[in-house]
Amino acid sequence: MNMIKVALGITLAAMLGNASAAESPLFKQYVALGDSLTQGVQGTSAEETRQPSAYPALLAKIMSTNYTQAPLTFPGNSINDEDYIKGNIKWWQFYYPIIGGHRKDGYKNQDTLNNFGISGAKIEHIIESKAKFEGMQKLVLGANGESAIDQAMKQNPTFVSVWIGHNDVLAAVARTDTTNLTPLADFEKSLVILIKKIKDTPSVQGVVLANLVDITQLPYLETVNLPEYPAGSKRVYYKSDANIKGPHQVLDPSELALIKERLQAINALLKKAAADNGWAFVDFHQFYLNVVKRGHLLRGENGFSNNDVITTEYLGGLFSLDGMHISTTGQAVFANEFINAINQHYLTSLPNVNEVAVSQKDSLYQNPVNPRQQ
């Protein structure tokens, strides 16, 4: 069977240390709900060689629980610039991104999936049912139209992680148009449904809910240096100043402030949801701001490294080449923030991921390339 398990593609035993201490009824069956960050997308592509680096795979290994993901045949649903520049893609493999991605297991493992991360998903897409799914929803969920939350709860999970909402604000950034922000009332309505589905599942013993990073400070955006636009204006990285055709391709400071305001309102809802339901909570917003200010010292086998500092800058180590999706090393860093929140809230003793060991297996961190200079 072509199942993507935690051990596929990376030597996780050395990276994760001794996970046997984590064995607990709380973690008997784990499912993850989320978007591209949960799915393990790097450089706009979800594919079988990097999906095992996603934080849910790392958490499942630490928890000593089974793990299966929807594997997309390399090079995935899109082209990762790293693979293209390094010549990793054979000519015939371009077929898979041309068709929008190919499910390597032929959906044979649909009934045993643990990871329900869907690239591009807003919160409504996690609870959404349709007569027939298409695109990435089909690649992850199959075509029968059963929602991510319903499929996840059918696994009778004992533990659930939820990290969703970035696309509800990120659409406004990607399209440089704040009308693409999800209305707060709509987000809250979907969140209520999501929470109820989880709480109505008797097997669930624990949940960890995470909030959103400040997407206006992603390296996906670059500062506009043109006199006709207000200071502090930003554009998406692939639109150089010379190629800007008008204000519709720029986010000015007032628009960036509106995006931040909506993001903060969503984060308030997520924090309240965790508190009201007695769930663990990961404050990724504050964590990310800290990394923006001073970088992040990688954790090694015996604590923090003295030399390995990653940053939120482009090619700084936290992000893949699109400046939006986190790298292999970044996934380990974010996995540890989940672990710390779970341990603190549920008084468990999950060991941390060895971030230094992961970074040593991270092809982009060890051998960086820069498509922005190609």
Answer yes or no: are the C-beta atoms of 146 and 129 closer than 8 Å.
yes
Q: What pLDDT, in 10s, does the model give residues 292-325? A: 999 999 999 888 877 899 999 999 999 999 999 9
Predicted local distance difference test score (pLDDT) of residue 23? 65
Q: How far apart are CA 215 and CA 266, in angstroms?
A: 13
Q: How far apart are CA 108 and CA 227, in angstroms?
A: 56
Report which of 262, 162, 278 is spatially closest to residue 211, judged by C-alpha positions.
162
Predicted local distance difference test score (pLDDT) of residue 170? 98
What distance lies between CA 223 and its chain's CA centroid?
A: 24
Q: What pLDDT, in 10s, does the model give residues 253-276? A: 999 999 999 999 999 999 999 999
Identify the bridge partners of residue 42 per DSSP, sorted by sequence position: 45
Strand runs labelled E in the chain: 30-34, 115-117, 159-163, 206-210, 221-223, 234-236, 280-282, 296-300, 303-310
Predicted local distance difference test score (pLDDT) of residue 302? 80
For domain 12-219+255-373, is the CATH number 3.40.50.1110?
yes
pTM confidence score: 0.93
Concatenated DSSP letters for 11-40? -HHHHH---GGG--GGGSSEEEEESHHHHT
Predicted local distance difference test score (pLDDT) of residue 131? 76
Predicted local distance difference test score (pLDDT) of residue 180? 98
Predicted local distance difference test score (pLDDT) of residue 121? 97
> In the chain, which residues have pLDDT < 70?
1-23, 374
Longest dimension (CA), the chain: 60
Residue in the block written with tokens 């499929």 = 151
Report which of 122, 228, 138 is spatially closest to residue 184, judged by C-alpha positions.
122
| Ranges of each domain in the chain | 12-219+255-373
